[in-house]
Amino acid sequence: MPVPEDLLAIMACPVCHGALEDRGEGLACTACGLIYPVRDGIPIMLPEEASRTGGEPPA
Amino acid sequence: MPGAGGTIDASAYDEWFETPWGRYAFAAEAALLRRVLGDLGGSRALDAGCGPGRFTEVLRAAGAATVGLDLDPSMAARAAARGTGPVVVGDAARLPFRAGSFDVVVAVTLLEFVADPPRVVGELARVTRAGGRLVLALLNSRSPWGLASRSRRRGGAWAAARLLRPEEVAGWCRGHGEVRRQGALFAPGPLPGLRRLGPLLEKWGRVAPGRGAFQVIVVERR
């Protein structure tokens, strides 16, 4: 279930306040690279639940 | 919102609202919030520490496009199931929103459950736009009701709460804008005849709003 555009537009990474993009598998911070999971349509915006992008450079 | 100190059973908490006293308390609290908030048509509102989403519905009914946030995934799932708007799991001390994203930010009995309430107030203020409003609702130990009964009656949720003095919270808010206070919920608890007497108590109570069990602090953001 995609995160609504208007919600994504006001959301930010809780760690660095970077912009987020919906990558399907989660919401990825374009600044620090943390990926936050989305479960049953609910973004889990907790650093301890986030994973790292596999060495991918920040956008 | 449940804090790091312990989890609150989401279904027990949600069911508390369907008890006679829960219904009475929620009605008095929602009425004060409606009075304070007025028409929210065209505005975007955050319900921080939304729990099962009961107060998110009040914001929605006032016309706001709502976003709910709670630390507890089971609370967030309940709120999402109400269908009032998007819900995210997040920590009020590190909000996952850009600065100034909301016209109105409401936090009902959130600060009692967080480790660092002044920091949370700062975060809530950060995501409230300049000219917008931050509305904090607290439970008041110095009310006829008292908090001992409350802690037993909200699904046991209040065992984890740390009560704050409204004056203290108002003090943390002053750096963020103009501060006003109001109160409601003047009944001392589940009384016989509450249905008849309650509306009178709520009306009379307005002469001493500081004695209401439900205290609302409104910060007009600069």
Nearest-angstrom CA–CA distance, B120 and B92: 6
Residue A32 lies in a domain: yes
B101 contacts A42? CB cut-off 8 A? no
Please name the residues in contact with B168: beta carbons below 8 A apart, sequence gap of 6 or more: none
When CB atoms are compared, the residue of A13, A15, A42 closest to B89 is A42
Residue A10 lies in a domain: yes
- Mean per-residue pLDDT of chain B: 86
Predicted local distance difference test score (pLDDT) of residue B7: 63
Q: Does the beta carbon of B87 lie under 8 angstroms from any beta carbon of chain A?
A: yes
Q: Are B68 and B79 in contact (CB under 8 A)?
A: yes
Predicted local distance difference test score (pLDDT) of residue B91: 98
Nearest residue in A to B80, CA atom? A42
Token pair listed for B178: 């103009």
Q: Are B6 and B31 in contact (CB under 8 A)?
A: no
Token pair listed for B212: 């209401």
The residue ranking higher by pLDDT, B130 or B16, is B130
Q: What does the pLDDT look like over B103-159, one tens digit per residue?
A: 999 999 999 999 999 999 999 999 999 999 999 999 876 666 665 555 555 555 666
Predicted local distance difference test score (pLDDT) of residue A58: 47
Predicted local distance difference test score (pLDDT) of residue B156: 59
The whole-number average pLDDT for the span B99-105 is 98
Which domain CATH number covers A38?
2.20.25.10
- Torsions phi, psi of B19, nearest 5? -80, 160
Predicted local distance difference test score (pLDDT) of residue B11: 87
State ipTM: 0.91
Residue A46 lies in a domain: yes
Q: What does the pLDDT look like over B172-211, one tens digit per residue?
A: 999 999 999 887 776 666 667 777 777 777 777 776 777 6
Do strands B177-184 and A27-29 pair parallel, antiparallel, or not at all (unpaired)? unpaired
- Total count of domains within chain A: 1
Q: Which of A19, A35, A29, A46 is nearest to B90 (CA)?
A: A46
Enclosing domain of residue A27: 5-52
Q: What does the pLDDT look like over A4-38, one tens digit per residue?
A: 999 999 999 999 999 999 998 899 999 999 999 99
Residue A57 lies in a domain: no
pTM: 0.88
Nearest-angstrom CA–CA distance, B19 and B42: 34
Predicted local distance difference test score (pLDDT) of residue B25: 82
In which band, very low, low, confident or very high, does the pLDDT at B72 lie, cut at 50, 70 and 90?
very high
Predicted local distance difference test score (pLDDT) of residue B145: 64
Q: Are B146 and B91 in contact (CB under 8 A)?
A: no
Residue A11 lies in a domain: yes
When CB atoms are compared, the residue of A11, A17, A46 closest to B89 is A46
Residue A54 pLDDT > 80: no
Nearest-angstrom CA–CA distance, B131 and B138: 23
Residue B52 pLDDT > 80: yes
| Percent over 90 (pLDDT), chain B | 56
In which band, very low, low, confident or very high, does the pLDDT at B3 lie, cut at 50, 70 and 90?
very low
Q: Which of B55, B54, B56, B90 is nearest to B70 (CA)?
A: B90
Residue A58 lies in a domain: no
Instruction: Spell out which residues of chain B touch residue A42, defining contact as CB-CB under 8 Å.
Output: 73, 76-77, 80, 87-89
Q: Are B46 and B97 in contact (CB under 8 A)?
A: yes
